[in-house]
Amino acid sequence: MQTIAPTLTPEQILFFHINGFLSVPVPATTPEELEIMRLAYDRIFQERAGRAQGDQFDLGGTDEEGTEENLPQILNPAKYAPELKSGMFLNNLDAIVKQLLGSDASAGVAHAIYKPAGHGAATPWHQDEAYWNPDLQYKSVSIWMPLQEATAENGCLWFMPGSHEWEVLPHQSIGGDVRIHGLEMVDLTPIQNPVCCPLPPGGCTIHRNRTAHYAGPNTSSLPRRALILGAGLAAHPYPGKRSFPWNDIKRTPREERAAAART
- Among 40-48, 123-131, 157-165, 185-193, the segment contacting Ni ion (CB under 5 A): 123-131
- Helical spans, DSSP H, in 20-72: 31-47
DSSP SS3 for 119: coil
DSSP code of residue 55: -
Rule CB under 5 A: is residue 129 a binding residue for Ni ion? no
Which residues, listed in sequence order, are joined to residue 145 by a DSSP beta bridge?
227
Is the distance from CB of 27 to CB of 217 less than 8 angstroms?
no
Burial of 241 (0-12, 13-18, 19+ CB in 10 A): exposed
- To the nearest whole angstrom, how small is the minimum distance from the Cβ of residue 119 to Ni ion? 20
DSSP SS3 for 83: helix
Buried/exposed code over 126-149 (b: 16+ C-beta within 10 A; e: otherwise): bbbbbbbebeeebebbbbbbbbbb
Q: Which amino acid appears at position 214 of this protein?
A: Y
- To the nearest whole angstrom, how small is the minimum distance from the Cβ of residue 30 to Ni ion? 27
- To the nearest whole angstrom, how small is the minimum distance from the Cβ of residue 144 to Ni ion? 8
Instruction: Write the binding mask 71 to 110 for Ni ion: x where contact by CB under 5 A, - elsewhere.
Output: ----------------------------------------
| One residue of 58, 63, 69, 128 binding Ni ion per CB under 5 A | 128
- Among 125-133, 182-190, 229-237, 250-258, the segment contacting Ni ion (CB under 5 A): 125-133
- Among 9-17, 34-42, 52-60, 120-128, the segment contacting Ni ion (CB under 5 A): 120-128
- To the nearest whole angstrom, how small is the minimum distance from the Cβ of residue 213 to Ni ion? 6
Measured from the CB atom, the residue of 208 and 257 that comes closer to Ni ion is 208
If residue 92 lies in a helix (H) or strand (E), which one and from where to where? helix 88-101
Measured from the CB atom, the residue of 59 and 81 that comes closer to Ni ion is 59
- Among 52-60, 122-130, 162-170, 179-187, the segment contacting Ni ion (CB under 5 A): 122-130
Measured from the CB atom, the residue of 58 and 128 that comes closer to Ni ion is 128
The C-alpha atoms of residue 65 and residue 232 are separated, in whole angstroms, by 35
What residue ranges bind Ni ion (CB under 5 A)?
128
